[in-house]
Amino acid sequence: MTGRAVLVTGAARGIGRAVATAFAQAGDRVAVHYGSSADAAAALVAELPGSGHVRVQAELADPAQVQRCVDEAADLLGGLDVLVNNAGVFVAHPPLESTYEQWQAAWSTTLAVNLVAAANATFCAVPHLLARGGGAVVNVSSRGAFRGEPACPAYGASKAGMNAMGQSLAVALAPHGIRVGTVAPGFVQTEMAREVLDGPGGDAVRAQSPLGRVAEPHEVAAAVLWLASPEAAFSTGTIIDVNGASYLR
């Protein structure tokens, strides 16, 4: 088989779709993970350039399903060289407007999907990466880990946790030929952000960047693709900001 074997979580739409497309365009074989968007995942697999692409399903909040998904992807692709932890949820729960029950539910769901699932997927991917002599894990975080998310503090916390997890694993796995990097986008022109960007506050969001716009999904995908490349081997542990200078740290 030619090309690398790549698993992208949350690949049916948005950033994940762009990431899957970028790897396929580079000649890699992609496992498109989806939770409930089976039709969108199937359509993407059919549209990706090249051959050998597959789709795999899992509810990422369930650790057993995560393990099954990673193992199934490796089996269908004939191994695994790259894992992209892209899937995530954004559940609004402003602290002064939420009930305690809503607060608890938002934290539980957000951490389970955004952080714990990524940790579990990475753990399950490591044996497959080791079997290939090494590989790469790329996490898709957010500028919210640094600037804060006042209406969704669990989201900001989950992404900050993802950043710290990625750096810890970069140190732990480097001696085994596995590099770990993270991309932290700002606002991106996706379906998830459409309500905000097309609404009355859209211009204010775009004005956060001196470029006067938000990122396109392919711009985030380009950073992910580079971090997974051999050329980025010495950049293991890094966090790349893709936010158009809307937040500097």
Domains delineated in the chain: 5-188+216-241 (3.40.50.720)
Cα distances (angstroms) measured from residue 162 to each of 157, 165, 180: 9, 5, 11
What's the confidence (pLDDT) of residue 191?
Answer: 81
Cβ neighbours around 237 below 10 Å, total: 16
Distance CA 164, CA 183 (A): 13
Both tokens of 124, joined, read: 């399950």
Determine the residue type at 139.
Answer: N
Q: Which residues in the chain come in under a pLDDT of 70?
A: 1
Q: Which residues are the active-site residues?
A: 155
What's the confidence (pLDDT) of residue 1?
Answer: 56
CB 115 within 8 A of CB 162: yes
| Residues facing residue 6 across a β-bridge | 30, 82
What's the confidence (pLDDT) of residue 241?
Answer: 98
Distance CA 38, CA 172 (A): 35
Nearest to 61 by CA among 20, 118, 5: 118
What's the confidence (pLDDT) of residue 234?
Answer: 98
CB 227 within 8 A of CB 166: no
